[in-house]
Amino acid sequence: MDKTMTFAGKINAPNIDTANENVMYSSKQTGAMVLPYQLKTLNDCAASCEFLCHQLLCSCDIDKRVSQIKLLHDCAEICTATAKLMARCSPFTKHMCLLCAYICECCGHECLKYPDHESQMCGRLCLQCAQECREFAT
């Protein structure tokens, strides 16, 4: 089965052979768990999106930011879910990272449309998260 994902309403199920799946987080020298730096970025992105979403819900121009607020909420949710899968070494992590990268890019580009400092910072963090997720998945 093709391991690519489509985002037009259909996600192709991955063909995962868990017996051959590499445990990408364990240290060969100590056997200890090593959490990838992407976990920090995912958690930072989720927190930034939640914070900005809360700020925008309390602002006077909320009616002009509906699309941004929806994307911020979706981005925070997908980053949190992706971090959870990554932390428990799920065989679906790489596939989730591709979806997360797509949503983070959409959110980042939407945030960068607005000139306020918080939106600009959040937008850049979302794009960084998208890049790291995509690199992790490949």
Domain 66-137 classification at class level: mainly alpha
pLDDT at 35: 63
Are 127 and 104 within 8 A, CB to CB?
yes
Is the pLDDT at 1 greater than 60? The verdict is no
pLDDT tens digits for 46-69? 999 999 999 999 988 888 999 999
Reading the block at residue 73, the tokens are 């909420």
pLDDT at 62: 87
Is the pLDDT at 27 greater than 60? The verdict is no
What whole-number percentage of the chain has pLDDT above 70?
75
Q: CA-to-CA distance for 61 and 71, rounded, in angstroms?
A: 16
Buried b (16+ CB within 10 A) or exposed e, 27-58: eeeeeeeeeeebbebbbebbebbbebbeebee
